Amino acid sequence: MSEKTNGIRDVAARAGVSQTTVSHVLNETPHTRVSEETAARVRAAAEELGYRPNRLARGLRTHASDMIGLLTEEIATTPHAGRIILGAQEEASRRNLTLAIINSELNPDPEVDSTQIQAFLDRQADGIIYATVYHDVISPPENLRVRPAVLIGARDEAGLIPAVLPDERGGAASVVDMLVARGHRRIAFAASADDVPATRGRLRGYVDAMTRAGLSTDGLIASGGSDARGGYTATLELLDREPTAVFCYNDRMAMGAYRAAADRGLRIPTDLSVVGFDDQAPLPESLFPALTTVALPHYEMGAWAVAALAESIQGKQDGSLLAAHPTVLNCPLVERESVAPPRERAGA
């Protein structure tokens, strides 16, 4: 004879509650009044008996699939993107949701994204996350609004879809504030020549903080490609203007700044402080000395998007994560060994 399979009736008996209560707890039915103590007892009983609710049957009853879709605009192949996916996946797991992922092309024909969104809708996804790169504002496909949706990395031009963005501007300003607190006054910025939102946000943050500190930026901004070679050429140009610190658009440009400093016989951080942006592992800790930089909140954006989408699906609008449009997450400063107070110049 086959081993007996425990069912919801067995869980209810073990926990000392009704079958309805077991169903509410294990299916996380919203707007039900079950104490945390009772819910914990039900979950413990289900775990002991190896019972899992039948999600297919529940979906047929409630028209909910417990599945959310993540459509990415080539983000899955860009640096750090794994952190967005990890944050989304772990938050989905915490909420007993399944995360399905489709990777799209960069700047595809709008009909392509619409077709991929429809693929989620055809599979009864309860909601959709649309993650983009290199955009300030987008006009998403109309069918993205058929179900609850959240944007990562861009804003909806109509202002109808909640979005989460990194605070590029604030992160850059925090770098200047830190350098000023360390005694630097001639702080240069090796900017990216790429016309993307991060370029504009980080440049604005640098200028904001320099202005607030009463410091001039004249002659202290140079642009290059957003890679090591671009950082090298931009930093060589800036070193002719004798800065005591160089803030680079990203960590790859900072790698080029290290080479430029070495070619000029300057030691980091004794003669020149260098700061990057992105905290793109493993680069910052692979440099010597280890690079002080700013971290992008990729994991946090992925987790926030799933949490906000879950609230939207459950109809929790008031006072929820969806209150701010868009939500901007902090880019924290990660201090390592590439910054020191400026060295006094001979004759100063």
pLDDT at res. 313? 84
Distance of alpha carbon 221 from the chain centroid: 27
* Below-50 pLDDT ranges, the chain: 1-4, 56-57, 59-62, 317-319, 346-348
* Inter-residue contact 105 to 74 (CB < 8 Å): yes
pLDDT at res. 158? 83
CA 341, CA 150: separation in Å to the nearest integer?
A: 43
pLDDT at res. 107? 54
Tokens 């100063």, residue? Answer: 348
Which of 313, 300, 290 has the alpha carbon at shortest distance from 67?
A: 313
Contacts of 196 (CB under 8 A, 6+ apart): 134
- With H, G, I as helix, E, B as strand and everything else as coil, classify residue 188: strand
Contacts of 257 (CB under 8 A, 6+ apart): 190, 231, 232, 234, 235, 246, 248, 274
* Inter-residue contact 260 to 222 (CB < 8 Å): no
